Structure 1
């Protein structure tokens, strides 16, 4: 168990604000500051040198396992002394993406008077706020561009049967803007194993639209069973590799995901094909006035000047 240190005088403006909010018992301000912060996880010298795998720094207390993290190297060294030679710096989103066990908690600055003991569900909500919360934080931002990889059956439902609703898991286009290879994109989203997601030609088909009614896009906090769902105060249970922290099941990626149920697609929704060469072609546009999909001749992303979701406007390679 970590022993509380009585004296600690933070030097950074961030830690001074955090300490002042803590002293004022203003938990919302404390959590707001932590959400934007990077935190340090102690790393053993052997792990830093590559002689052993990097392990999660944990300790036990109150019958629980806690992961230890610090708001600065100075704060960590006040508690750990000379043993704190190496640190791995992560954001809350990166921490949540690789969260090892929903039963664990996060101890921020354990051993210092300004310390926080957070449940896994709190970590998830700090890492992945809802779309509504993001809009409130950035009131001038436009509607987020969402997208979803389509299986052959999904493609048929839209183009052959006129389906104009979307269900299941989707993600923000800007979270994958750096990925322009179909197989890499499918793997990043945890969908490479699904038959037909990557076509025989090596392409992926992408449904892309502007989200309206942001409360319809629910962040999937939960777990793989009832115990893990309760541990993060979540609402959904899914089969593994579901992680329930609001991110796709890939510890090496920070891609937020959202669950929708029969949400209507707006006018102008598009279907794009991302080819193995890393080139996008717009294949279809949904006409909300006519209530049907309109097929488009092969138009590479760089030439689709009238399409709102091509590269540079929120799709892979652009910003949303």
Structure 2
């Protein structure tokens, strides 16, 4: 039989066990509370995350282009949009602080907006005024690197090599202005080699005299591309030596500078490479003697048919580019 002392010891042991169990439960509850707090803290805020968009696997976001290009953004075609005035070399000086803003991706399926095509011009851009100098040369009969032949009008000029751009300037009409207010319109028929600088025009004596006394020899000018009034139509000439197996083709009398000349072959229209002496060459004879399509820097296309393969003969057409 358990004595009173033994019963007292048993009660004290049970009391200590209950205390240990209570302390362990308290620790467990505290740990659970800490874990719960950590989980809640790491969970995303449902209000700030409500605007996110889920993209299905394999789907792509589409960029919607702005309806108008941002200030200072170049056109798609690569030709720079002027953001400032030209500098002394005839190149465009950008406006300080101009920047390009990229379109932000959008999850919507709005169709892409395509801006209107920019002119297919080279260095000499329509609507741009360039600065440079005018010099004077003896033009003779008006023939030059463009190989147009003798000129009916001596209001002609040679373009510096940089802006001549491997004959791309041939046939362009340019309005030239002097500081005294005088101006003259000239046609580019020749190239002014180095040391002629970008922006420089070498004018015939007759054209230079419309601005100042030719004895001055060199004056500062501004100039810009012109699309003049004219009653003339375009002519086509095949180069000397042209045949069904090789030919060179030249357009003469075009109101606006040419951007492309194509011939029609068995596989459709084919663009011909342009030489620095202003002929478009078909090295294998493809399209020689067939239909010809010419395109100006504004994108207008004219198709000419019925031009015989007659070397070194100027053959008139009945077409001309529109005025701009």
Using structure 2 for the length normalisation, give the TM-score: 0.21
Larger RCO, structures 1/2 (Cα 8 Å, 6+ apart):
1
Report the structure, 1 or 2, having the larger helix content: 1
Using structure 1 for the length normalisation, give the TM-score: 0.21
Structure of greater Rg: 2
